């Protein structure tokens, strides 16, 4: 449950919000990541009016209210302000009309002022609210940046996820989070980050907890990155058939978004770090439209077709 009080404490300074009145209403619930300019609603058209949104009054709204008769002004404001309105914000540091103040006091609606422009305030609030309400999950794994790609390394415990990430850091790549990775859905993509408590930390068996930023420098860490692919480490199984061509694309799903999946068998003698780098580079080539496996398959089919034609000519 996200309260107006929480929003004010987290972003009040950033949005330069000044609470004018309505302290008792700070415990109102913000139900959805939406804000609304009530321009059309103030004219009397209330069909589909969203009563659950925070309202922003800009220059147009304030000047329009001033032109209305007192009785009409009160009627229109009462129509859009209710017990379910989370909060009202007046932009550009305009002085709220007395009638707006009175109704906010009557319904215990928090009333804020800010020197920000209306458009700037709207864009920032949309971003902040969407960021808070975005679906989020926490998964087990290690998230690293490899050649600009967000690579989530997963696998069973003690398979070597953290060691692989440590080796990638030695090669100039960057750590986002170890052990626990928070994945947030933003638009059609996934953004991965780490918990505040374990940020820049890694657990290496036999060594313990290490601070990567202190050991390798601040250039070896970053707070978040888009998750582009998943590499799942598993112990080599001689009875299991592993794809040697790469024509079959595998995917896993987080929050309804499909992410390319690569299963990487691990055994002594295999350079896991080099293989993860190769997977990342190959994935980048695929994004650019070049697929090595498909190109090889086309050449193979052309060779077979050519041989079959020769057999028909020279039986």
- For the annotated catalytic residues, the residue numbers are 140, 161, 179, 244
Rounded Cα–Cα distance for residues 192 and 295 (Å): 32
> What is the DSSP annotation of 39-70?
HHHHTT--TT--TTSEEEE-HHHHHHHHHS-H
CA angle 144, 150, 151 (to 5 degrees): 65
By C-alpha distance, which of 203, 247, 251, 198 is closest to 223?
198
Query: How many Cβ atoms sit within 10 Å of the Cβ of residue 109?
Result: 25
The terminus-to-terminus CA distance of the chain in angstroms comes to 78
In the block, tokens 């820049």 appear at: 200
In the block, tokens 């309202």 appear at: 55
Rounded Cα–Cα distance for residues 180 and 196 (Å): 11
Query: How many Cβ atoms sit within 10 Å of the Cβ of residue 33?
Result: 17
The answer to whether 227 and 143 are in contact (CB under 8 A) is yes
Return all residues near 65 (Cβ < 8 A) that are at least 6 apart. 42, 73, 76, 77, 97, 99, 100
In the block, tokens 């700037």 appear at: 120
Rounded Cα–Cα distance for residues 231 and 174 (Å): 16
The answer to whether 242 and 267 are in contact (CB under 8 A) is no
């Amino acid at each position: 449950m996200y309260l107006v009080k929480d929003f004010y404490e987290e972003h009040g300074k950033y949005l330069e919000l000044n609470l004018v009145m309505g302290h008792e209403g700070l415990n109102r619930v913000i139900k959805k990541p939406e804000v609304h300019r009530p321009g059309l609603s103030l004219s009397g058209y209330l069909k589909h009016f969203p009563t659950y949104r925070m309202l922003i009054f800009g220059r147009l709204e304030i000047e329009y209210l001033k032109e209305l008769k007192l009785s009409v002004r009160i009627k229109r404001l009462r129509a859009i302000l209710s017990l379910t309105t989370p909060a009202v914000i007046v932009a550009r540091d305009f002085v709220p009309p007395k009638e707006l103040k009175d109704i906010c006091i009557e319904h215990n609606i928090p009333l804020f002022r800010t020197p920000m422009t209306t458009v700037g305030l709207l864009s920032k609030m949309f971003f902040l609210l969407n960021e808070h309400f975005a679906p989020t999950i926490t998964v087990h794994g290690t998230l690293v940046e490899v050649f600009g790609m967000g690579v989530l390394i997963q696998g069973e415990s003690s398979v070597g996820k953290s060691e692989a990430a440590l080796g990638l850091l030695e090669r100039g790549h960057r750590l986002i989070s170890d052990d626990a990775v928070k994945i947030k859905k933003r638009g059609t993509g996934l953004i991965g980050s780490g918990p505040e408590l374990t940020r820049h930390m890694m657990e290496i068996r036999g060594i313990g907890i290490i601070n990567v930023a202190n050991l390798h420098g601040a250039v070896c860490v970053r707070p978040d990155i888009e998750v582009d692919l998943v590499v799942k480490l598993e112990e080599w199984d001689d009875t299991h058939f592993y794809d040697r061509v790469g024509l079959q694309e595998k995917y896993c799903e987080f929050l309804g978004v499909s992410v390319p999946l690569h299963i990487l068998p691990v055994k002594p003698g295999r350079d896991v770090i080099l293989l993860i780098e190769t997977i990342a580079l190959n994935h980048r080539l695929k994004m650019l439209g070049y697929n090595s496996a498909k190109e090889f398959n086309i050449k193979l089919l052309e060779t077979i077709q050519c041989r079959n034609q020769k057999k028909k000519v020279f039986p």
